[in-house]
Amino acid sequence: MRALLFVNGEITDYSALSRWLRPDDYRIAVDGGARHLEALGLQPAVVVGDLDSIDPVHLAQLRKQGVGVEQHPAAKNATDLELAIERALRDGATELILLGAVGGRLDQTVANLMILAQRSRPVPLAIAEGDQLARVLRGPQSLTMEGPTGGYVSAVAISEEVTGVTYRGLEYPLENATLYLGSTLGVSNTLASSPAHISIKAGTLLVIQQVL
């Protein structure tokens, strides 16, 4: 089961979300992220959060429609998004995609990106933004990327160093390279063939792919 988690970030083009939507998705509204589902004419299976940012009238409507609500106290040691991820895993999700997780508040955007790298999770976790998909590799691990050629691929070290970085199918190859925190060496490569592959031996690597 694939779960889509709608986060309360900014979404300026709802038509761009259509590529990520499937009729059988398990949809979770992360507090005020319920507004994105409303804009799309969709209903969540459950709303998760401390309910400080969701419109109260909308929340009341969802309750009347039988949507589940998992309310948490405002004083907590985890963000609403972290709690929603845990709910999705409990409900049997085998893949997680976060929508509306970037844009708006810079602190929330950075925090949401870092959730990808926070710890290893038992299922794939990605952030989708328009035609971009962000995923994290933890060495030793490899990533297979599919899609039309010509889209950009950027790889950014988010640990002190990432070793054994090897590209297959990208325009600018790397072979057993090391990327250091803050380096731009892996930024703005291009998908030359599909499928393409990135593998690493150790460290944590953020990979952002334009899927076109």
Domain edges within the chain: 2-130, 135-210
- Give the fold, CATH level 3, of 2-130: Rossmann fold (3.40.50)
The predicted-structure confidence for 114-134, as pLDDT tens digits, reads as follows: 887 777 788 999 999 989 999
The predicted-structure confidence for 154-174, as pLDDT tens digits, reads as follows: 999 999 999 999 999 999 999
Greater model confidence, 106 or 7: 7
Whole-number Cα distances in Å, 66 to 44, 60, 162, 190, 205: 10, 10, 47, 46, 41
Report whether 17 contacts 80 (CB < 8 A).
Answer: no
Residue 201 pLDDT level (bands cut at 50, 70, 90): very high
Position 105 pLDDT exceeds 90: no
Task: Give the DSSP letter of residue 74.
Answer: S
The predicted-structure confidence for 48-86, as pLDDT tens digits, reads as follows: 999 999 999 999 999 999 999 999 999 888 889 999 999
Alpha-carbon span 182 to 184, nearest angstrom: 7
Say what the pTM is: 0.90
Identify the CATH class of 135-210.
Answer: alpha beta
Angle at 208 between CA 207 and CA 209, to 5 degrees: 115
- pLDDT value, residue 174: 95
Q: What would you report as the CA-atom Rg of the chain, rounded to the nearest whole angstrom?
A: 18
- pLDDT value, residue 49: 97
Residue 103 pLDDT level (bands cut at 50, 70, 90): confident
CB neighbourhood size of 26 (10 A): 19
70-95 as b/e: b if 16+ CB within 10 A: beeeeeeeebbbbbbbebbbeeebee
Contacts of 194 (CB under 8 A, 6+ apart): 145, 146, 147, 148, 149, 169
For the chain, give the percent of residues with pLDDT over 70.
Answer: 100
- pLDDT value, residue 104: 65
Position 112 pLDDT exceeds 90: no
Position 11 pLDDT exceeds 70: yes
Task: Give the DSSP letter of residue 33.
Answer: G
- pLDDT value, residue 116: 79
Task: Report, as an integer, the average pLDDT of 207-212.
Answer: 92
